[in-house]
Amino acid sequence: MRSHRRIRWAAIPLGVAAAVVLAGCTTQELNGYLPGFIDGEAATTNQAERVSGLWTNSWIVLLIVGCITWGLMLWATVAYRRSRGQSGLPVQMRYNMPIEIFYTVIPLILVLGFFSFTARDQAAIETHWDDPDVSIAAIGKQWAWDFQYNGDKEDNSDAVWTMGVQALPAANGDVVQEELPTLYLPVDKTVTLDLRSRDVIHSFWIIDFLYKKDMYIGRDNQWSFTPTREGTFAGKCAELCGEYHSMMLFNVKVVSQAEYDEYLEGLRKQGNTGDIDKAYERLQNLPGTGTQAGSESEGK
């Protein structure tokens, strides 16, 4: 009984100390030093904290397992070290059932736990809105991005778009940020991105949003989320796609609804309306169809 009481009384100050330490952590520290978090401000998207939670908790579990394993190794090294004057091999054991069961069951529980939490979070992140506030097509090409803001009409004649070029370096070698393709998003609105490729496989990655998705040849992909903090965020292609892959950059501006509407109206006044031009697509044969993308677009 006394030993249990001692353990209990020892756990109380340890718990208080842990709470104090965690309370003093910054938002970045609590989220595993991942990008996209600022003290006193909302996360970048409705899913950012879910991703950081999976990342941080996984590292906590792994560090605990590592400390236990390293501790057992150190204990065995000290407890079973060869004493002075001993020679020959130590006593050999053919098997130890409790230890073998322990080292089989615990890793199995860890693997199943990691799988279940990952599957749960991935299912939530991959859930798409039935009727999003904003529908945008993000189109990757060697080595830039096109963005089409889809409209409400069935023929999409009220859509507007921009075509980007690859990053351009200034005289000092820095990228000219003003020349980068820029994706505009309204804050606190549900967004669905249709991810397409004009040529090879690309990967759409907004760094501070903590998520990326591949853009396959001849197959559209989707990503649904809600941007929850205004600001400018960097994006890039995360799939090696050719010689100038490193220059396939873009920016994301999360703005108010009024600023978003104003931006779309500016594109409309420039005449960038209707479905985006498919003349620059370089897909030769759509997988599994035997048809050419060029002739298909011409038929339309």
d(CA 67, CA 286): 51
d(CA 251, CA 178): 9
pTM of the model: 0.79
CA dihedral 161, 167, 168, 171 (to 10 degrees): 140
Partners of 216 in the β-ladder: 219
pLDDT tens digit sequence for 215-243: 988 777 999 999 999 999 999 999 999 99
d(CA 86, CA 84): 6
d(CA 108, CA 212): 29
Q: Which residue has the tokens 């000290």?
A: 78
For the domain bounded by 134-275, which CATH number is listed?
A: 2.60.40.420
d(CA 197, CA 219): 8
Domain ranges of the chain: 31-79+96-125, 134-275
pLDDT in tens, the chain (300 residues): 555 555 555 556 555 555 544 555 788 888 878 888 888 888 999 999 999 999 999 999 999 989 988 998 999 888 888 887 777 777 777 778 888 898 899 889 999 999 999 999 999 999 888 889 999 999 999 999 999 999 888 888 889 999 999 998 888 878 888 889 999 999 999 999 999 999 899 999 999 999 999 998 877 799 999 999 999 999 999 999 999 999 999 999 999 999 999 999 999 999 888 888 777 777 655 555 555 544 444 443
